[in-house]
Amino acid sequence: MKFRTRQIHAGVKPDPTTGAILTPIHQSTTFVQESIDEYMARGYSYSRSGNPTVDAFEEKIRDLEGGAGAAAYASGMAATVAVLMGFLNAGDHAVVSDVVYGGTHRFATRVLARFGVEFSFVDTSDPALVAAALKPSTKLVFTETPANPTLKLTDLRAISDLTAERGLLHAVDNSLLTPYYQRPLELGADFVVHSTTKYLDGHNATLGGAAVAATSEQLVQLKFMQKSAGSIMSPLVAWLTLQGTKTLSERMDRQSANALEVARFLESHQRVTRVGYPGLESFPQFDLAKRQASGFGAMAWFEVEGGVEAGKRLMRSVKLWSLAENLGQVESLITHPVTMTHGDMPPEERARAGITDGLVRLSVGLEDVEDLIDDLAQALETV
C-alpha cells in the first residue's frame, strides 16, 4: 500500500474487545502472567521492556521507514544514544557529520569519549573526506541530512556504499525530512534515528525518539538498549505520536510548500544577504536534494545584514513567528542560533560550521503563508 494509507493504518487495528478505532493507551506498568508455565505467553511483562501502545508506534515507524524492526525511546537523544552505545565499544572509532544536532556532538565528545570511544567530525557532504577519515578501528559513520541548522546535505547512497564495502555501519538522523520524503534504509543505511518530537508528532506535545534497524539482528541490540538503559518511550507519548503520524504527509507537503514561498520572498528582500533552502535553485546541493528525497522539507535559514544586533532586532519584532528552539511543528518557529541554540559553541567552530552572526533559522509551520510572509516583511523593516 501507498505511504498515505500506511501512515494511517500501519501498526494499528480496532481494539478486538471494544471496537475502539484508536489503539488504547496501555498505561499499565505490569502485565499479569497466565501461569508460571506460560510466562510471557501474551508478549508482555513490564513496560520498560515492552508495552502494547509503544509496540503499535514501533510497528508504524518500522513500516514507514521500510526496516526490519524499530525501537521507540523517551527522546530523540535516547534513540541516538541507543545506536551509539549499542554498537560502539571502547577502542572503536566513529565518523560523525561535522554539522550535526548539538546534543549528538555533546554526547559523543563529553560522554562516550570518556569510555574510550573516539570520534572524528567530518564534512560528510564529501564522501572522499569520509573515506580519508576512516581508521582500522572505525566501526560506524553517523550522518545527519539535511543537517541542523545549515541544511547541508550528505549523499546517503555514496556513504552507504562506502561503509558497506568496508563492513562498517551507517546510521542516519532522518528527523528533518521524515520517511515521507527520505528513506535512508532504501539507500543502503543500516539505521535510521528520529527525534519523533519533530515532524512525526508535529504538535509540540511530546518528546520522543525512534531507531529503525535494517536487520532483525541489529534490532535485538536496539531493544536491549531500550530495556537496559530504561529509555523506552512512554505509552502516552506513543499514543500521541501515533495520532500525529497519521497526518504526516499532509503537514509535510503544506509546510514545505510554505517554506519554498517564504524562501523565495526572502531571496528577493534587500535586507537579506543569503537564503538557504534545499528547494531553491540557488542551493549548492539542489541536485542532490532532488535526487535523494521526494521533498525539500520545511526548514530554511537566512542571513540578515547587520550581524548579531540585526538578528536580535528581528527576533524582537516578529509577532506571528514564535521565538523557540524546537522545529517541525504546526506553529512557525524562529531561532537565532548565535544567541540561542549555538551560543555555547566557540566562535571559530561556529564559523567552520557556517553558523554566522546574522543567521536566522526558520521552522515553517502550517499557518497561511501570506501571514507568515507579512510578519517577516514587517520585522525586516526594523533591522
Ligand X SMILES: Cc1ncc(COP(=O)(O)O)c(C=O)c1O
Query: Least distance to ligand X from the beta carbon of 282, Å?
Result: 23
Stretch in the footprint of ligand X (CB under 6 A) among 53-61, 70-78, 150-158, 289-297 = 70-78
Specify the residue, 271 or 285, whose C-beta has the smaller distance to ligand X: 285
Stretch in the footprint of ligand X (CB under 6 A) among 72-80, 220-228, 274-282, 290-298 = 72-80
Contact 142, 97 (CB under 8 A): yes
Stretch in the footprint of ligand X (CB under 6 A) among 19-27, 74-82, 117-125, 160-168 = 74-82
Query: Least distance to ligand X from the beta carbon of 147, Å?
Result: 8
| Binder of ligand X out of 76, 86, 278, 337 (CB under 6 A) | 76
| Binder of ligand X out of 103, 127, 307, 354 (CB under 6 A) | 103
Q: Is 101 in the site for ligand X (CB under 6 A)?
A: yes
Query: Least distance to ligand X from the beta carbon of 144, Å?
Result: 6
| Binder of ligand X out of 133, 200, 207, 379 (CB under 6 A) | 207
Binding mask 146-185 vs ligand X (x if CB under 6 A, - otherwise)?
--x------------------------x-xx---------
Specify the residue, 78 or 214, whose C-beta has the smaller distance to ligand X: 78
C-alpha–C-alpha distance, residues 256 and 293, integer Å: 13
Query: Least distance to ligand X from the beta carbon of 76, Å?
Result: 2
C-alpha–C-alpha distance, residues 46 and 29, integer Å: 5
Specify the residue, 148 or 154, whose C-beta has the smaller distance to ligand X: 148
SS3 labels along the chain: CCHHHHHHHCCCCCCCCCCCCCCCCCCCCECCCCCHHHCCCCCCCECCCCCHHHHHHHHHHHHHHCCCEEEEECCHHHHHHHHHHHHCCCCCEEEEECCCCHHHHHHHHHCHHHHCCEEEEECCCCHHHHHHHCCCCEEEEEEECCCCCCCCCCCHHHHHHHHHHCCCEEEEECCCCHHHHCCHHHHCCCEEEEECCCCCCCCCCCCCEEEEECCHHHHHHHHHHHHHHCCECCHHHHHHHHHHHCCHHHHHHHHHHHHHHHHHHHHCCCCEEEEECCCCCCCCCHHHHHHHCCCCCCEEEEEECCHHHHHHHHHHHCCCCEECCCCCCCCCEEECCCCCCCCCCCHHHHHHHCCCCCEEEEECCCCCHHHHHHHHHHHHCCC
| Binder of ligand X out of 86, 209, 337, 365 (CB under 6 A) | 209
Query: Least distance to ligand X from the beta carbon of 357, Å?
Result: 21
The residues annotated as belonging to the active site are 48, 101, 173, 198
How many residues bind ligand X, per CB under 6 A?
A: 14
Q: Is 195 in the site for ligand X (CB under 6 A)?
A: yes
| Binder of ligand X out of 58, 63, 92, 144 (CB under 6 A) | 144
Specify the residue, 143 or 383, whose C-beta has the smaller distance to ligand X: 143
Specify the residue, 207 or 280, whose C-beta has the smaller distance to ligand X: 207
Residue nearest to ligand X (CB): 76
Please name the residues in contact with 74: beta carbons below 8 A apart, sequence gap of 6 or more. 207, 208, 209, 231, 232, 233, 234, 237
Bridge partners of residue 121, in order along the sequence:
96
Which grid cell is 27? 498505561
Please name the residues in contact with 290: beta carbons below 8 A apart, sequence gap of 6 or more. none
Specify the residue, 47 or 329, whose C-beta has the smaller distance to ligand X: 329
Specify the residue, 241 or 380, whose C-beta has the smaller distance to ligand X: 241
Stretch in the footprint of ligand X (CB under 6 A) among 69-77, 246-254, 255-263, 311-319 = 69-77
| Binder of ligand X out of 7, 47, 51, 75 (CB under 6 A) | 75
C-alpha–C-alpha distance, residues 371 and 194, integer Å: 30
Q: Is 77 in the site for ligand X (CB under 6 A)?
A: yes
Query: Least distance to ligand X from the beta carbon of 292, Å?
Result: 17
Specify the residue, 78 or 376, whose C-beta has the smaller distance to ligand X: 78
Contact 56, 12 (CB under 8 A): yes
Query: Least distance to ligand X from the beta carbon of 335, Å?
Result: 10
**Interacting residue ranges for ligand X, rule: CB under 6 A:** 75-77, 101, 103, 144, 148, 173, 175-176, 195, 197, 207, 209
